Homo-oligomer: A and B are copies of this chain.
Amino acid sequence: MEAEIIAVGSEMLASDRLDTNSLYLTGELNNLGIEVVRKSVIGDDRDRLAGAVRDALSRSQILIVSGGLGPTEDDVTREAVAQALQRKLIYSEEIAEALEKRFAQARRKMAEVNRRQAFVIEGAEVLPNDRGTAPGLWLEEPGAVAMLLPGPPHEIKAMFERQCLPRLARIAPRFAIRTLSLRVAGMGESDLDELIAPVYKKYTNPVTTILAGNGEIQVHFRARCATPEEAEALLAEVAAPVELLLGDRVFSRNGDSVEAVVGGLLRKANATLAVAESCTGGMLGERVTSVPGSSAYFKGGFITYTEAMKIEMLGVSPETIERFGAVSRETAEAMAAGARRRTDATYGIAITGVAGPDAAAGPNGAVVAPGTVYIAVADASGTHISHRQFLGERQRVRIFSSALALDALRKRILGRE
């Protein structure tokens, strides 16, 4: 069973506002085993909306139209849907009276324009609105149902939950949907796909989606079966071999970020952390401390943006910087060791690199290209250093560097470098 959602309102076609009601509606529909196959935003234009409604009902079994039920001239949903279904609009004395009563309770006089909200599409069931003036409408056509719901989020949620869910439950298929999301670090999107495609390609259910961004990859599985047990079993059948292939590169399977995962590992090990940052300028510390309760394991950090700061704050030797450069394996190692030593933390992480856009000067007249990054993770047993040449602009290099550093720490704690 497939659904479409149309959000009505010219303000959602501007450059500063999105339709967010569809997220809530999608979650609720998915829980009933109904897929959302298309979402649209249409302005306050009657003909255009009528066309979109006609098209949607010819394709899908369920249509939700949100917004455009207000009292003003630019609220065109009732008229547009009546036009699309070739039905009449009928004035409801009952709704008009309820509206008047509502205004009287608030000790306000009802404006004449509010009477527009008392029009009902012929044959529709009226869905009462406890939280606003616009009633909703439930319409049945051969092979399809349409719901017209108000736009304000607290109104649409209450109405959908109380009025639409019970009606939908009667017609929805008895499906169960289960999802699983693996978050993966340390490999590129196409390499990952090449590795796991032979497993997931054999299945159209669960649906597998691969998303890359912010220095990590998310692999989503979504299984849809007759019972929750079957969905769980199917998910396990596909996800388990994929997890096996990805191995240690999977850092979470419950949606947790890498900083949250690292936080959990540090807590469990009763260990502490300090950071030393150059090109990321504080981003690594910011990510670590974005996790509530991080003060339990995070001691602090050093943002050493100059060579002098690396020497004074972290005790990197001037000879190391002169000989190998501030962006080097050796400096990263000394920074991580210094951060650890000066804070008495269990682990020290250091990032030094060139975020760009310009290249930097290296030792002996060498040039260090933008995107060059060294990451060091130090503990009592020694220091592990990784080197990357990232592509892209300044902020991307910084995001990837901090993600990689957090993942390097994760592997270090797990003893799996």
A288 in the interface, Cβ–Cβ < 8 Å? yes
Give chain A's interface residue range (CB within 8 Å of chain B): 35 or more
A356 within 8 A of B: yes
Least CB distance, A9 to chain B, in whole angstroms: 8
Tell me if A384 counts as interface (CB < 8 A to partner B): no
CB of A113 within 8 Å of the partner chain = yes
Looking at the complex, which one of B15, B193, B275, B357 makes contact with A24 (CB distance below 8 Å)? B15
A286 touches B290 (CB 8 A): no
The reply to whether A300 and B286 contact each other, CB–CB distance below 8 Å, is no
Stoichiometry, as copies per complex, reads 2
Q: Which of A71-79, A86-94, A232-240 contacts B (4 or more CB under 8 A)?
A: A71-79
Contact of A194 among B113, B282, B283 (CB under 8 A): B113
**Which residues of chain A from 278 to 300 have a CB within 8 Å of any chain B CB?**
279-290, 292-295, 298-300
B23 touches A16 (CB 8 A): yes
Whether A191 contacts B111 in the complex (CB less than 8 A), given A42-B38, A281-B294, A298-B305, comes out as yes
Question: CA separation between A16 and B218, bound complex, in Å?
Answer: 11
A113 touches B23 (CB 8 A): no
Chain B hits for A209, CB < 8 A: 10-11, 14, 16, 44, 74
A394 contacts across to B, CB distance below 8 A: 290, 292
A255 to chain B, nearest CB (A): 9
Q: Are A43 and B37 closer than 8 Å at their CB atoms?
A: yes
Residue A313 is within 8 A (CB to CB) of chain B in the complex: yes
Q: Which residues of B contact A290 (CB under 8 A)?
A: 281, 394-395, 398
Asked if A1 lies at the interface with its beta carbon under 8 angstroms from chain B, I say no
A13 within 8 A of partner (CB): yes
Among A160-168, A317-325, A385-393, A405-413, the stretch that binds chain B is A385-393
Q: List 22 A-B contacts (CB under 8 A).
A: A15-B26, A18-B18, A18-B19, A38-B42, A38-B43, A38-B52, A71-B193, A111-B191, A131-B396, A277-B285, A281-B294, A281-B301, A282-B303, A283-B286, A285-B303, A295-B306, A299-B305, A299-B308, A299-B309, A300-B306, A301-B302, A301-B305
